[in-house]
Each structure stands twice: as C-alpha cells, then as structure tokens.
C-alpha cells in the first residue's frame, strides 16, 4: 500500500491493515470480516497524544490555544485532506449499497483507523513519526481547516445584495440520532445542499457546497 510504503512502513499483520480499510457496510456483506471502528477509536487517541505533545514541545501556546490548534489539525476536514493527499481514500472497502457514498467522515475515520493499526503493529514511535511526517508540513504552512462557510457565504451574498435562506428539507432518524438535510437558497434558488447530525452542521455543509460552487 503506497500510503505506508512511501513512509517506509511495512505492517507485519496484513489482516490488521485490511480491517483498518473496511467500512461497516462492507463487513456487513462479508461474514467474518471486521470493520475499522475499533481501530479508529484507538487511532483517534494516538493522534490526539502525538499532536498534544507536538504543540507542547514546539510552541509557547497556553493550554486553550494548544487545544484550539490541535483541534484544527485533527478535525474531520483536516484528516480527510491528509488521507486524500497520501491516496488512502482509494483503498477503502465499502459495501455495495455504500459504494457511491464515500464521504469525508468515512475518509477521516479510516485515516484514524490506519494510525491505530500502525500503532498496534509497529508501536508508538513509528506511528508518531507517520503522523508528524504527514501533519507538520500543514502546521508549518499554518493551514486553517475550520473555515466558517456560513459566514463566508453571508459576506459573499451581502456584496451582491441578494437574499440568503436555509431550509430543512428532510429530517430522519430517532430523536437522539437525527439526521438533517438542509438546502441554502440565494434569491429563492437552491445553490447548495448539506447533510449533518445537527441543523448547524447541515447548514455549514450546505453553505460550503454553495460557496465552493458560486464564489470563485
Ligand atoms: Mn473518527
């Protein structure tokens, strides 16, 4: 797998790597195949620790600032960006029904799962080096992964004196686990669509969709 070989990493346990790349939709269709969720849990913790240590050793930030910076570099958008950069998104195993629904959430989760697999197979130092090799260049470039697209879109629309409106078009799932689908309209025309676990998240995604399409 190029996303490991490029970094001179070779896992002894190939099964572990397969698990890290397997979404539950694929595992559900193939008896005895495990999905990445438990490895993701582990990788998430390794990632947090490595980036915490990095900011502790390499910055003079106060606690709150370290938290903010770490959050920026381990947020979903950031992890999905790294994963795509190293070609990890091409290796994910999805079930038939999910095949066309590869999204940033899954890509980011698989990135965490791969880190979990490296940690188990090769230990902390190797996983730490992998994480830093990938992320530090972005830190040096001062990348902002938490762009507030709602504000951006608002500003964009204001300059053109157009109206902006968000509307929930679909709502499904049980009360404690709802999913919202939101559209954003500019002068009554739908420009973007977003799905999220909260109205806020769905609105952000709809705004991002519209912003990237229109504000060029
Ligand atoms: Mn995750």
Question: Would you list the DSSP string of 1-58?
Answer: -HHHHTTT---S-HHHHHHHTB-HHHHHHSTTPPPTHHHHHHHHHHHHHHHHHHHHHH
Q: Which two tokens stand for residue 203?
A: 């609105």
pTM (2 d.p.): 0.72
Distance 69 CA to ligand 1 centre (A): 18
Top-level class of domain 2-140: mainly alpha
Tens digits of residue pLDDT in 62-76: 999 999 999 999 999
**Residues labelled catalytic:** 44, 112
Top-level class of domain 149-214: alpha beta
Mean pLDDT of 5-30: 96
Distance 91 CA to ligand 1 centre (A): 17
For residue 196, the model assigns a pLDDT of 87
Confidence label for 167 from pLDDT (cuts 50, 70 and 90): very high
> How far is CA 210 from each of CA 81, 147, 148, 160, 161, rounded to the nearest angstrom?
20, 14, 13, 15, 16
Q: Is the pLDDT of residue 11 over 70?
A: yes
Where b means 16+ CB within 10 Å and e means fewer, 40-64 reads bebbbebbeebbeebbeeeeeeeee
Distance 79 CA to ligand 1 centre (A): 9
Distance 183 CA to ligand 1 centre (A): 25
Distance 214 CA to ligand 1 centre (A): 30
For residue 215, the model assigns a pLDDT of 57
> How far is CA 76 from each of CA 55, 104, 108, 111, 135, rounded to the nearest angstrom?
19, 7, 6, 10, 13
Mean pLDDT of 34-50: 98
Q: Is the pLDDT of residue 198 over 90?
A: no
Mean pLDDT of 115-120: 98
Q: Is the pLDDT of residue 184 over 70?
A: yes
Distance 116 CA to ligand 1 centre (A): 11
Q: Is the pLDDT of residue 28 over 80?
A: yes
For residue 171, the model assigns a pLDDT of 95
2-140 and 149-214 agree in CATH topology: no
Mean pLDDT, all residues of the chain? 93
Domain ranges of the chain: 2-140, 149-214
For residue 64, the model assigns a pLDDT of 94
Distance 74 CA to ligand 1 centre (A): 10
Q: Is the pLDDT of residue 45 over 60?
A: yes
């Amino acid at each position: 797998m190029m996303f490991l070989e490029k970094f001179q990493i070779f896992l002894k346990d190939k099964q572990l790597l397969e698990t890290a790349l397997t979404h539950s939709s694929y595992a559900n269709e193939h008896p005895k195949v495990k999905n990445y969720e438990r490895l993701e849990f582990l990788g998430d913790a390794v990632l947090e620790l490595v980036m915490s240590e990095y900011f502790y050793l390499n910055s003079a930030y106060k606690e709150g600032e370290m938290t903010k910076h770490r959050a920026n570099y381990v947020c979903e958008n950031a992890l999905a960006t790294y994963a795509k950069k190293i070609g990890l998104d091409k290796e994910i195993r999805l079930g038939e029904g999910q095949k066309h629904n590869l999204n940033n959430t899954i890509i980011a989760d698989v990135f965490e799962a791969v880190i979990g697999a490296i940690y188990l197979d090769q230990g902390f130092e190797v996983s730490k080096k992998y994480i830093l090799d990938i992320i530090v260049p972005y830190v040096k470039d001062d990348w902002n992964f938490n762009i507030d697209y709602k504000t951006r879109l608002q500003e964009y629309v204001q300059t053109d004196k157009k109206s902006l409106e968000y509307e929930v078009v679909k709502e499904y799932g049980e009360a404690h686990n709802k999913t919202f689908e939101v559209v954003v309209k500019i002068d009554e025309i739908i420009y973007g669509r977003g799905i999220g676990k909260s109205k806020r998240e769905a609105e952000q995604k709809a705004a991002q969709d519209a912003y990237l399409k229109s504000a060029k």
